[in-house]
Amino acid sequence: MQKSIQIGYDELFRLKCALAAKAGFRHISVNFTQVLDKTEDEWKAVTDDIAGILEENGLQCVQSHPYYYDLRISSEIQEERYEFAMKQAVIATAKLGGAWSVFHPRSSISTGFSVKQSYEDNRRVFSEYLETAVKHGSGIAVENLPIFPGLAPSMPFYSSNYEDVIALADSFRDEHAAVCWDTGHANLMCFDQAEVIRAVGNRIKCTHIHNNHRKNDDHNPPDNGTIPWEKVMPSFAEIGYDGPLTLETHCLYPDPMMLESFAKFNYECLEYLESLTTKENLP
């Protein structure tokens, strides 16, 4: 498996990439959240800049994560500036060699939560992202969300039920449409994550790896939380998963010294998680 870490494109992107490479990473996910309200030419310049930084550091982009909508905005509401950025991020991902752009499904909540309307809204919009991805040689992956304890405890979100991502990914009937499995989000839902991973199966083509204590979506390193990795990681091997293990962990103190230690420690965590997917650890 490829050991990967997600890095946001911001003023520290070059430094973070250098430190990730120093720690041993050869693969990254690019978070495009801060790239917004740019023209098509400006997006091309951003893509060229990222490509140059990756080449400098011997890194390869394996996936990306463009997201702009607040998840509390109902799914039938579309904003042109966000939609443009989403599609430009898909194009950038493909140009950088990334196989998957990971998207948050959105929820229909304007007149009460509706699974049916959420499904229809996401399928309509994601069909456009998928068309763009296929045209440029990549794919899209839908991510499982939780019910966020710190955001709105009583508010459901589409795809917090893992069957939602199965239904949405399958609806496209296209090998370029897949699932990104988020371990931290799954942990917040308190189900048997290993069992659910087996249920989602080979639809999972990429990951977001992080941990929490089931109180908040903390995006902690793998060692800091309640996920039983010794049970969870073998389930990835059982479904034949061979894609990237991509950390989506947050460094709370982004000074150079902390960032270097953070990258090194996270790489070591991934080495351990990868070791749990070997044959001798399978049930």
- Residue pLDDT tens, the chain, 283 long: 999 999 999 999 999 999 999 999 999 999 999 999 999 999 999 999 999 999 999 999 999 999 999 999 999 999 999 999 999 999 999 999 999 999 999 999 998 899 999 999 999 999 999 999 999 999 999 999 999 887 655 678 999 999 999 999 999 999 999 999 999 999 999 999 999 999 999 999 999 999 999 999 999 999 999 999 999 999 999 999 999 999 999 987 778 889 999 999 999 999 999 999 975 665 6
pLDDT score for 119: 98
CATH code for residues 3-281: 3.20.20.150
Rounded Cα–Cα distance for residues 183 and 160 (Å): 12
User: Residue 253 has what pLDDT?
Assistant: 75
Domain ranges across the chain: 3-281
Q: Among candidates 248, 237, 222, which has minimal Cα distance to 278?
A: 237
Q: In the prediction, which pLDDT does 51 show? A: 98
Query: What pLDDT, on a 0 to 100 scale, did the predictor assign at position 252?
Result: 76
Q: Hey, is 275 helix, strand or coil?
A: helix
Return d(Cα 71, Cα 168) in angstroms, integer: 17
Q: For residue 114, give Cα distances in angstroms to 48, 159, 161, 181, 206.
A: 41, 12, 13, 23, 27
In whole angstroms, how large is the CA radius of gyration of the chain?
18
